[in-house]
Each structure stands twice: as C-alpha cells, then as structure tokens.
Amino acid sequence: MSKRLVFMLAIASAILLVACGQEAEYETIQIEEVAEKQDAGYIVLDVREPSEFDQGHIPGAQNKPLTSIQTGDFDGLQKDIKYVVICQSGNRSQQASDLMLKEGYEFVNVAQGMSSWEAAIEK
C-alpha cells in the first residue's frame, strides 16, 4: 500500500472512532446527589407532566414538562441558572437534557427519577 493510502485510512479510522465514541456532554448524577446540588444553588427542574408534578415533587422544584421542551418552549428557564433535571424514572430527563444541551443551558441530569426519591415531597 502506498503511504498516502495508509495515511488516509488512518485519518478515516480516527474520525470514525471519535464519532462513535462520543458520550453525552453533560453530567449525570445519582438521586442521592440532588440535595447536594440544591445546596450548591441548582434549581430542580421536574420535566414530568403537571398532573404527575402535582402528585408530589421535590421541594422548590420548577415544573417544565418534556412535551413543552420538545416543542421548543423554554419559557421560564434561564441560561444563567443551573438546573438538576429529573423525571419519574430517568428517561424523560435524559431526553430533556439532550435538548437543553443544544440550547446552551447549564444542568445535570438525574439517572433515576422520582420513583427513587425517598426524601420529603411537596404537593
């Protein structure tokens, strides 16, 4: 093989490795770390539907359903505030986190959700 062909194959391989190996560009925390983040000034952003939120949520949490975020509705969210994004099980918070990342918000995602929350709740 010519040196040029080997070089081109090496470049292509490197690009593929980087593209396939990319992970989420945000931090994901465990449910036990939420209170610590709140103490550090983060606001809990609960992305469940309002009816779920009304059944019980982390004290001080703000509700912004994933369904709103998916339509591009970020009203009420501020880019100079850090958020802890949570849902019921971790799936919707991950989806919301992916969208918030694209819009430039600062946040951490919670791996679990309210189904794992054992501390006090507000209604």
Active-site amino acid positions? 87
- Per DSSP, 41 falls in state T
Kindly write down the DSSP assignment for every residue of 53-108, as one continuous string.
HHH-B-TT-EE--HHHHHTT--TT--TTSEEEEE-SSSHHHHHHHHHHHHHT-EEE
Reduced to 3 states (helix: H, G, I; strand: E, B; else coil), residue 4 is helix
